[in-house]
Structure 1
Amino acid sequence: MVLKNAKIVLEDRIIDNGYLIIEKDRIKDIAPGDTNEDGLDLKGKWILPGFIDCHVHGGYGVDFETGNKNRFDLFAKSVGQEGITKYLQASVTTNIPTMEKNYQEFGEYMSRVDRKGAICLGAHMEGPFISPEKKGAHDEKLLIKPSEELTEKVMQWSKNNLKMVTYAADLQDGSYTKFLLRHKIIPAVGHTNMTAKEFEKEYLLAVRHVTHLFNGMSGVDQHRPGLVVAAFNHQDVLAEVISDGIHLQPEILQLIYKIKGPNHICIITDAMNAKGLRDGNYLLGKLPVIKTGMKVCLKSNGALAGSGATFDHNVRTMKQYTNASMLDLIKMSSINIAKQLNIYNKTGSLAPKKLADIVVLDRDLHVEMTIAEGKVIYAKQF
């Protein structure tokens, strides 16, 4: 496959007019100028690395907890329209028997060789190891302290496809963090009321990931600085950002961008099953929520409950409010999280021999085509 007459965003520069050649599942060549080879004329559209969402619960009527056993298939096939080529499927707090059932079904899905659509890299377990004070849209009755025993069971149920865990690090003494690191699972600190000083112990253990910065955590207080302050003070901590324009106001997005910089932010959706569906009543786990536009709230108290926003919307919103360059935008949508997930040698940027994970955007950054490992998984009519 040849994509030509395009603006191509490489890690260190932009080719104003060039072409990209895909052979099987890899990028074969990228070059400026024209080519005589037959191919798809993109007429000046953008070619970017495919988006990577490390924190998405679901959308299009399904999520980790909702729907039949084919729900993971449906989700993988649906997110291509957002430009997503790889992702971590996130779970929410639920009871142990339900967790076992869901993770076993997820493990079966991950073990299949005939998966289609965007590539799921594994699970992101958000809860039940979180703080009641910062529970967000999690069922407080089901919250428990970090448990190595339960996590080992989840690893077994998922066929060793647990890649990230969000937990309140102040509810353990460092032993759980060490457990995650030993098993090559990314420790993501979030849904916690910990102080910045308490985070220092975790930082020394090599924790370098914070779940949806500002949301579900202790914040900026001059007398009790929280996790937000710790994330700001440690430049090398990667901060998830829900840039839908709802979870964080424009001024906060600008502040994060100014302090953290484009090298230490990863855009996420935190989307739930109502993404892509009409407004109305839905469930997040077993909690009733209501969707209005891209905003999803608990019916019980109005608290935000995940998101109805798409990844490409969040990319556009981040660019709108921060005026980020295209080179900085691909860091926040692909490069940074690929490095964090230790897959940057294979994907996350456009380069010969890397996997052909590609999104084609129009000049307003709406998705025109998505290619995952050389296969077209979404194509809008040109």
Structure 2
Amino acid sequence: MRVRNGRVFGPDGKFHNQDIYIENGRFAAESRDGREFDASGCYLIPGLTDLHFHGCMGADFCDATPESLLRIASYEASNGIVNICPASMTLPEAQLRKVYQNAAAYQQQGGSHLVGIHMEGPFFSYEKRGAQNAAYLMAPDAAMVRRLQKAADGKIKLVDVAPETEGALAFIRELKGEFRLSLAHTNADYDQAVAGFQAGATQVTHLYNGMSGMNHRAPGVVGAALENESCFVELICDGVHVAAPMIRNTFKMFGDDRIILISDSISATGMPDGMYELGGQAVRVEGGTAIVTATGKIAGSTSNLMECLRFVVKEAKIPLESAVKCATINPAKSLGIEDEYGSIEPGKRAQLVFLDEDLAVSAVWF
């Protein structure tokens, strides 16, 4: 098939007026079947990849049921998020095992591809636990992660850890060749964060949120990450977790090669205000903002990744090219799947999202 007359997001990070060819489910240099599709008036971008979200449409990844996972995958795909790496919460090992076994058994049925699992917790700081359940926090345990990876059939790609916790640096050093280690829910100061990166961490989970702040005398995790040019930083761009001016400043500081847009969405996404649950804790959603009722802390977002991308462009005034890059190829690189996903290039899986002039999704192909 030939897709013509669209503005295509190329691997160089720019839009081009060019044709796209699809053959046997992959992008190709040419196509012999003679079919054509007119994409006039559309931006054509790769399918998005969300590597940090918990649920949507009343379903949570930690429900550990095929029905919830299929509901999540269907909603995400309909919004152009065709690759998903859902995040678990701080829960007991036995419960996490069920979550991961359910993910390992996932069979795509028209929904998004499940390209990994993000293990968010339980190796966190009490002070910066955020919406994580304090009852299940524990010291980093490499043997536990490996047991859970077996249950997940190798699908765990990201493992979060607070580097200042007891045993964390040894944990990072031991697992760095098996997983991407990300600093998260941490009260680490600058030196402790630097030590985490030196041990082998290469990512920061939801930058600014759930960590010590950046101060002119105490640069903290953010300052350490800024100096470590090889690490990615996640950024929640729902308009609640990080203010639009700060999003602009973050792009100026880190550049679009290192930022990964995430939604951190919870089961309330796509649903009306009301009461929901996250990690075994009651959450109230009012005006689209989710709050843990017991602690008053923000509990993830109620926006999907495509909505976050639009916010970045329309409200934070980031160029569309940069926003798309941070929601497609950057997360693919973080997960180590960039050979198959994340850009429109011959040989890669044919995942294509059609956006109109207002950046609304008009079609999703994958």
Q: Calculate the TM-score normalised by the size of structure 2.
A: 0.94
The verdict on how the C-alpha distance between 1:14 and 1:250 changes in structure 2, with shifts beyond 3 A counting, is: closer
The verdict on how the C-alpha distance between 1:40 and 1:231 changes in structure 2, with shifts beyond 3 A counting, is: same
Equivalent residue for 1:49? 46
Equivalent residue for 2:26? 26
Which of 79, 86, 92 is the equivalent residue of 1:82? 79
Matched position secondary structure for 2:324: helix
Output the CA distance in 1 between the equivalents of 2:30 and 2:228: 36
Q: Give the letter for the 1:12 counterpart.
A: D
Find out whether 1:98 has 2:95 as its counterpart. yes
Output the CA distance in 2 between the equivalents of 1:181 and 1:4: 44
Matched position secondary structure for 1:198: helix
Output the CA distance in 2 between the equivalents of 1:98 and 1:277: 26
Equivalent residue for 1:108? 105
Q: How far did 1:36 drift?
A: 12
Which of 197, 205, 208 is the equivalent residue of 1:203? 197
Matched position secondary structure for 1:133: coil
Find out whether 1:2 has 2:11 as its counterpart. no
| Cα pair 2:245 2:316 within 8 Å, conserved | no
Which of 228, 232, 237 is the equivalent residue of 2:231? 237
**Residues 279-318 of structure 1 deviation map (CA, whole Å, 9 limit, x = unaligned):** 1101112100012343211112321101110111110111
The verdict on how the C-alpha distance between 1:101 and 1:158 changes in structure 2, with shifts beyond 3 A counting, is: same
Find out whether 1:63 has 2:60 as its counterpart. yes
Output the CA distance in 1 between the equivalents of 2:229 and 2:361: 31
The verdict on how the C-alpha distance between 1:13 and 1:78 changes in structure 2, with shifts beyond 3 A counting, is: closer
Equivalent residue for 1:380? none
Q: How far did 1:115 drift?
A: 4.5
Q: How far did 1:131 drift?
A: 0.6
**Residues 329-381 of structure 1 deviation map (CA, whole Å, 9 limit, x = unaligned):** 22211111212222222221111111112211111111112222xxxxxxxxx
CA RMSD between the two structures: 2.1
Gaps of 5+ in 1: 373-382
Q: Give the letter for the 2:306 counterpart.
A: D
Output the CA distance in 1 between the equivalents of 2:168 and 2:78: 43
Equivalent residue for 1:331? 325
Q: Give the letter for the 2:361 counterpart.
A: V
Output the CA distance in 2 between the equivalents of 1:204 and 1:13: 30
Equivalent residue for 1:379? none
**Residues 222-278 of structure 1 deviation map (CA, whole Å, 9 limit, x = unaligned):** 343311111222233211000111100112111111100111100000011111111
Output the CA distance in 2 between the equivalents of 1:13 and 1:263: 10
Gaps of 5+ in 2: none
Output the CA distance in 1 between the equivalents of 2:96 and 2:322: 38
If each structure's strand is expressed as a fraction of its own residues, which one has the higher value?
Answer: 1
| Percent of matched pairs sharing the same residue | 29
The verdict on how the C-alpha distance between 1:4 and 1:136 changes in structure 2, with shifts beyond 3 A counting, is: same
| Cα pair 1:107 1:158 within 8 Å, conserved | yes
| Cα pair 2:11 2:344 within 8 Å, conserved | yes
Output the CA distance in 2 between the equivalents of 1:128 and 1:13: 36
Matched position secondary structure for 1:188: strand
